[in-house]
Amino acid sequence: MSKVAFVFPGQGSQYVGMGKDLYENNSSARELFEKADEILGFRISDVMFEGPVEDLKQTDVTQPALFLHSAVLFEIMKDKNFDGAAGHSLGEYSALFSAGAISFEDGLKLVRKRGEAMLNAGKIKTGTMAAVIGLAQDKLEEACKQAAEKGIVQCANFNCPGQIVISGEPAAVRETMTLAKEAGAKIVKELVVSGAFHSELMRYAVDEFSEALEQAEIKPVKVPVYANVTAKPVTEPTEIRRLLLEQLTSPVRWEETINNMISDGYDTFVEIGAGKVLQGLIKRINRNVKILGVDKFEDLINL
């Protein structure tokens, strides 16, 4: 029996103008944007609609902006049936919102605090990230081991076949980049980020974020949400809370997540949020599934 999955994008998918057409064309969307401005204490809607891009790229703004955009889209289309959800990194919070595990207000507050904690961790301990294209996982992991003498470095995002992101201390990441090129990687590119996300360097964010996570109400999910840390469905609040905290320092197992969902019967994936990053990744993971995207108001009309 075929199943539909809603998937939600993470950091890097944001763009100036995101959500503006939703605000202009839908009254419930307008209410949620205004509610978000009130909850956060600043007009995040203005930054999303008008920029500047430098402000939108700040981690503590990017994260609530992406969550808000996905949440607004989901609220407009929540009468659509779906069987499960997943989100890439930050997108896991949007997935949990769609599954009824966290409220709009708690979700927005959590991702704002998560962004602040990650930004602060990046200030305490400088880190960087790099994308490695066209190198087998085992070879890249071996490169990370060899470079470990220069500091912390690890695989942070297993995105799709042949696309892995590494994260850690700058010297160790750059040494891994050199070793990856020597091992035959097609493309190796350092990313512009404010910290070494999904690595042990985010340990500094764990304590700051854990208190906010403990205070948030988390309910059992209405549909399974596949967690980044395990690539498996999670349903119970205690486990959800634990995995969200672990997610800060653990790799995003996106390729494994999608393959597990396909094995579990999901054959239609709908990306809800900014851009088409996840649609591209899923296409590279499996070309036989149906892939759709909902980003703008016109997408909702055509869905």
Catalytic, 199? Answer no
Q: Confirm if 11 and 287 have CB atoms less than 8 A apart.
A: no
> Catalytic pick from 13, 45, 70, 89?
89
Question: Is residue 187 over pLDDT 90?
Answer: yes
CA dihedral 43, 44, 50, 54 (to 10 degrees): 120
SS (H, E, C) 278-295: HHHHHHHHCCCCEEEEEC
Determine the average pLDDT of the residues in 52-74: 96
Pick the closest to residue 213 from 234, 237, 249 (CA basis): 237
Determine the average pLDDT of the residues in 110-124: 95
Catalytic, 69? Answer no
Cα angle 228, 232, 233; round to 5: 105
Count CB-CB contacts under 10 A for residue 24: 11
Confidence of residue 60 (pLDDT cuts 50, 70, 90): very high
Express each pLDDT in 84-106 by its tens digit.
Answer: 999 999 999 999 999 999 999 99
Measured distance CA(181)–CA(213) in Å, rounded? 40
pLDDT averaged over every residue in the chain: 96
Q: Confirm if 95 and 7 have CB atoms less than 8 A apart.
A: yes
Question: Is residue 181 over pLDDT 80?
Answer: yes
Tokens of 303: 């869905």
> Catalytic pick from 98, 198, 199, 250?
198
| Domains, the chain, ordered by start | 3-123+200-302 (3.40.366.10), 128-191 (3.30.70.250)
Express each pLDDT in 14-46 by its tens digit.
Answer: 999 999 999 999 999 999 999 999 999 999 999
